[in-house]
Amino acid sequence: MRRYDDGDEVDMAVVGCGAGGATFAQRLAHAGWRVVCLEAGPFWDPEKDWVSDEWGSHHLYWNEPRVVGGSHPVPLGSNNSGRGVGGSMVHFAGFAPRLHPSDFRTRSLDGVGADWPLEYGELKPFYERLERELPVAGQFWPWGDPHPHPHPPHPVSGNGEVMLAGCAALGIEARVGPVAIANGRFGDRPHCIYRGFCLQGCKVNAKASPLITHVPDAIVHGAEIRPDSMVTRVETDREGRRVTGVRYVRGGRERFQRAAAVAVAGYSIETPRLLLNSANARFPEGLCNDHDLVGRYVMVQGAPQTAGRFAEEIRMYKGPPPEVSSEDFYETDPAKPYRRGFSVQTVSPLPIMWAEHVAAQGHWGADLRRRMADYTHWATLGALCEFLPQADNRVTLADETDRHGLPVARFDHSHCPNDGLLLEAAREVMERILKAAGATELMTVERYAHLVGGCRMGRTPQEGVVDGDLRSFAIPNLFVTDGSVLPTQGSANPALTIMALADRAATRLIARGGA
């Protein structure tokens, strides 16, 4: 791997090596740019660092201190953040759907949320390219912009069979996929062995993540991936007009990497936190925060899970957690009292998470042990509900500091009435599907998933922190290339959209010849 000195002015310093940062860095490296990607966590070796064990995989998560608040506080950690090269995609479930065309125009179409500064059609070719690169496997997708997937669907496990049967009985359309998991060998990656540990890091490397897809290629083309490097501040010139590089801590020493441009890709909590911690004379309330938008409109998806017990063994853990999905409830239904919608997909909690679900229902002691022994008879579905962006769902700086002496992030989150209606509707649909498949007992737990927002795109500086090319309005050589730029979130897992946005931004930047 090529190494740059701190004193070398690289063409682009990328902060964070997850879905957005790694894709952005890889595209620029292909074009001959001098790129350093600084990652706070380690450079993982799946063979040595990952284990087929729920508890033993917690080191994959961002477990640095954070403060949460609001009327519906969101637990931060395992299901919505990552640590190390590859980011949260090293422990995402592998589900890789696209957003719908309507997601880009929710304000115009449904009177809620915000319109994006670009249309679905502008992102479509980047979706298609990344689906081939990851690759994505699944059946023909009839929802949104109907499209095939480059690889055929995987075999369906017991959990998937339950959902397919229940949906068929109710007349609900359901399909297998799309998952970013190789179906058969793909390059030097092996076939999925259906062990069910996607959320703990795929030890066999069948599941795609930047760690094994775009990072190795970025290195081949001259990028440096610099792990264990916690960026603490983005620096600017004296006037605050252009960024000059980033301060970071590595090996206990503070260092400064010079850069002609900077892209921040720390995701929806750490990206706003870094910009707020980078306040200067021109931006006393935080870098690029001249319109009080940095940290605002952070969204999570409501992700309730409903399980049903069956007389026969299901063994839901055998296979990727997401296998079968339906987007029949994704779009706004004028007959319903809520706007926008939700998707439903199979999920397969492993025993520790399953024990948490059971205990949350009030079962304890001998009753909990009995129900844990019954684990193989349960099937579980999960919903992704499109919670609406709200200005007061935001990241600010807390009074507490971390081990580097920096103020930690505080994330306040509350539901709006539409959010609660979506949760109830999703639960009712999942219960109907499981009952139609033959479930004799039901159990629902409320959860959240998939942080996005916090530095959203807009057409003007009054609407967003960055424009449609992910360039900040306030500082022309500062970019944000992660999920914090999404103005709305849809009812889809965001990884593919984050990568597509980073790909598009890099492509347009390269075409312009520089930052």
pLDDT digits (tens, 9 = 90+) for 372-410: 999 999 999 999 999 999 999 999 999 999 999 999 999
- Whether the Cβ atoms of residue 419 and residue 385 lie closer than 8 Å to each other: yes
Rounded CA separation 147/204 (Å): 29
The pLDDT tens digits of the residues spanning 485-507 come to: 999 999 999 999 999 999 999 99
Mean pLDDT on 344-358 = 93
Residue 79: the pLDDT is 65
Instruction: Flag whether pLDDT at 188 surpasses 90.
Output: no
CA-nearest of 309, 392, 396, 382 to 348 is 382
- Partnered with residue 256 across adjacent β-strands are 247
Is residue 397 within 8 Å of 64, Cβ to Cβ?
no
Beta strands in 208-292 (DSSP E): 224-226, 230-236, 243-250, 253-258, 262-264
Backbone angles phi, psi at 449, to 5 degrees: -155, 160
Residues in the chain: 515
50 pLDDT band, cuts 50/70/90, is confident
> 34: how many CB neighbours lie within 10 A of its CB?
19
What pLDDT, in 10s, does the model give residues 429-467? 999 999 999 999 999 999 999 999 999 999 999 999 999
DSSP secondary-structure letter at 234? E
The neighbouring-strand residues paired with 69 are 412
Burial class from Cβ neighbours inside 10 Å (0-12, 13-18, 19+) for residue 363 reads middle
Kindly state the tokens that stand for 154: 């995987």
pLDDT at residue number 182? 86
Q: Which domains does the chain have, with CATH numbers?
A: 10-512 (3.50.50.60)
Task: Give, in degrees to the nearest 5, the angle at Cα 475 between 474 and 476.
Answer: 115
Cα angle: 428, vertex 434, 436; to 5 degrees: 100
Per-residue pLDDT tens digits for 213-241 = 999 999 999 999 999 999 999 999 999 99
User: Going by C-beta distance under 8 Å and a sequence separation of 6 or more, which residues neighbour residue 197?
Assistant: 52, 203, 350
The arithmetic mean of pLDDT across residues 124-149, rounded, is: 98
Q: How many DSSP H helices and E strands does the chain contain? A: 11, 19
Q: 371 or 99: whose pLDDT is higher?
A: 99
Give the pLDDT mean for 97-112: 98
